[in-house]
Structure formats: structure tokens, C-alpha cells
Amino acid sequence: MKAIVNGRILLRNEILENKVLIFDEKIIDIADAVPSGCETIDAKGKLVSPGFIDIHIHGNMGKDTMEGTDEAIDTISKSIARHGVTSYLPTTMTMDEESIAKALDSVRRGMNRNIDGAKVLGAHLEGPFINKIYKGAQNGDYIVNPSYDFVKKYEDVIKVITYSPEEDIDFKFTKDIKNNTDIVLSIGHSAATFTEARDAIRLGANNITHTFNGMTGLNHRDPGVVGAALTTDVYCEFICDTIHITKDLFQFILDSKGKDNVVLITDSMEAGGLEDGTYSLGGQAVIVKDGAARLESGSLAGSVSSLNRMVKNFYENTSLKINEVVHLASLNPARSLGIDNKKGSLDIGKDADIAIFDNELNCHMTISNGEVIFNQI
């Protein structure tokens, strides 16, 4: 057993001080004293948070999920652990079926290997079932109509599918996925009308991919996908790097969705953690300058920010308390995936996924399933 002492423990509804967090692979207890024979970790007054879950991330530190290699998955896992991420969904791009299959095979291997970094929960399939009008940084040459047959071989790997419901004839794909799998359907890169998006939500689509970006916007006569996102109880991903969404809307997002339905993501590409320069995303050149990643056309191509920075940005520009805001990157993504019985908070009995941050939300230690995977205490 291990025990974290001298930390401020961030629970959903309160911050505990002068308490001890006791764990092995699971959270065992929050107690007044360290049990005898227990290894101690001194948090030195820092914040003890649930580990973060990034449900939408393409790459980091020069590696991309679409490389389809163990090396790429290992590098991403290790690099994001430095920012308090304890588990994640490597995310694919719209490319040919062979390339996507290779990437999904590497994710499957990652799910079943011991990696010295954040745990691979499965894959987020972003495309190829999207709309060319709102493809963003996706490669339009490989966009296809939604197909359950495409997905069948990887039902054990794919946890989220970003798709355009208006391209789903009679909502057959939506119904097939909801009737036959536990995969989460997320509306994104979509030209859907408000009615089309709302109908898909009624049939079981319960997430929105990087809300505001890559979709029909809010209009007072046709509220679009954004209108459906804001007026239903779906989980909404947000890239809160202040580039994809102005910080002036963060409180509006919170007021509209409530703190239980906001999911912070990075949508990071391979340049995450690296300097400005030219990189690649889905086989396309991406220029990173002043913290923004763009295709040569000027379209945003994911972010280069870390999840703890997203949390910090949201905290600084909303009314949330620190213990509340960390759950937008831990409990809420866990709920969106249906794994909140195991992950997402420091409740007794859950996986010991823990991160220790200072007041600026710099990460000093990350613990996944009770094992230290990053340490700068």
C-alpha cells in the first residue's frame, strides 16, 4: 500500500486537507493517519487530483496514432503522463482503410501491453464517416459514408466514433452501432441541421466532437449542430486552448451545459510538446506557429496544448472551483465513455489514477493503477 500525505485532496464537492489518501491498484481509503508499513508520498501541500482522461488526442512529441506503431503509442503515453493524463483514446484520422486498420491494430496492442505511461483505453475513430464541407484538417479524398461493416472487426478497440449523421441514410449506421455495440457516437465534422443532429441524439448519439469547431454553427433560425449540442444533455468536447474557442465563451459554455456535461480534450497532434515548425497530420503538412497548428490552407489542425493547460484556462475564466474544474478532464470523460464506475474520481474502490499538481496546475506526479508513471516531486 501507498499513502499520499500533506496534500489537498480534490473531491467532487469538497477539498480535503490534513487527510491521507491510501491506495494500491485501487483507492482504498481517505483516512486521518498513515497505516503502519505503508509507503508514503509527500505531496508538499500540492493538489491531489484524479488522473486526467483525454478522449481525443492524435499525437504528441513527434508521434501520431496514424503511424500505426508501438513506438508511436509508447511515446504518446509517456509524454502525456507528464501532464497528469492517466488514460486516453489514441485518435485516428480520415485516411484509407488500410492505414486506419494499421492504426487500430497498434491501439489494440497498446491496450494489451504494459506501457510505462498513460493507459490506452481504446481508440477514438475520427472519420472517415464525415462531411466534406466541414472536414477541417481531415483528408477529403478518403471520406466515405458510415458503414457498420467497416467497424465490426474493431468493436473491441473503438470506444468513440466521430461521424456526420446527415450522411447516415435513414440513420441505419446510428441504429446498428447503438443496437450492436457499446461504442459512443459523437457528432462532428458535420453539416447537419438542428433537426438532423437532434434526431441522431434521440437515437443514441451522446457526444459532440470538439464543439463549435467543424460543424454547423448557432443561428437563430437554424441552430445547427451547435444548437443541438447546447440544448440537449449530450456530453460536449471542448478544446479550451483559447485558439479554437475564445476564452470569453468559457463561462457561457459552463452556463449552457452545466459542469457535468463539459469534457475538456486536447485534440493534440504530433507537434504537442515541441517547438514551432512544420509537422504532419493525416499525411498533410501542418505549420505550427505561436501555439496554433494550421494546414497550409489556414484551417486549424488540432492543438499543441496539454490537458492540464486546458483545465487551467477553463479554471481561470469561469466560476468553477479548482476541485470542480479537474473533474471536467477526469470524471466527465469517464462518464461519457461509461467507465465512471472504475475511473474519473478519487472515490474509494476506483482505479488509483491520481495526479499531483501545484497551484498553477503544473504536474509533479502521475499515478496510473497505483503505479507511478511520472515523478518530479
Active site amino acids: 267
Q: What is the C-alpha separation between 286 and 295, in angstroms, rounded?
A: 5
Phi-psi region for residue 33, left (φ > 0), alpha (ψ -120 to 50) or beta? beta
Q: Which amino acid is at 202?
A: R
Q: What is the C-alpha separation between 366 and 84, in angstroms, rounded?
A: 5
User: Would you say the C-alpha torsion 209, 215, 219, 223 has a positive or negative sign?
Assistant: negative
Q: What is the C-alpha separation between 140 and 178, in angstroms, rounded?
A: 26
Task: Report DSSP letters for 186-253, one per residue.
Answer: EE-SB---HHHHHHHHHTT--EESSTTSSB----SS--HHHHHHHHS--EEEE--SSSSS-GGGHHHH
Q: What is the C-alpha separation between 185 and 125, in angstroms, rounded?
A: 10
Q: What is the C-alpha separation between 320 and 259, in angstroms, rounded?
A: 8
Centre a 10 Å sphere on the Cβ of residue 360 and count the other Cβ atoms it contains. 7
**CA-based angle 373:115:271, to the nearest 5?**
80
Of 84, 168, 161, the C-alpha closest to 124 is: 161
Write out the three cell numbers for 184. Answer: 459512443
Q: What is the C-alpha separation between 257 and 259, in angstroms, rounded?
A: 7
The whole-angstrom distance between residue 160's C-alpha and the CA centroid of its chain comes to 10
* Beta-bridge partners for 2: 23, 39
Q: What is the C-alpha separation between 48 and 298, in angstroms, rounded?
A: 40
Centre a 10 Å sphere on the Cβ of residue 286 and count the other Cβ atoms it contains. 23
Compute the chain's Rg from CA coordinates: 20
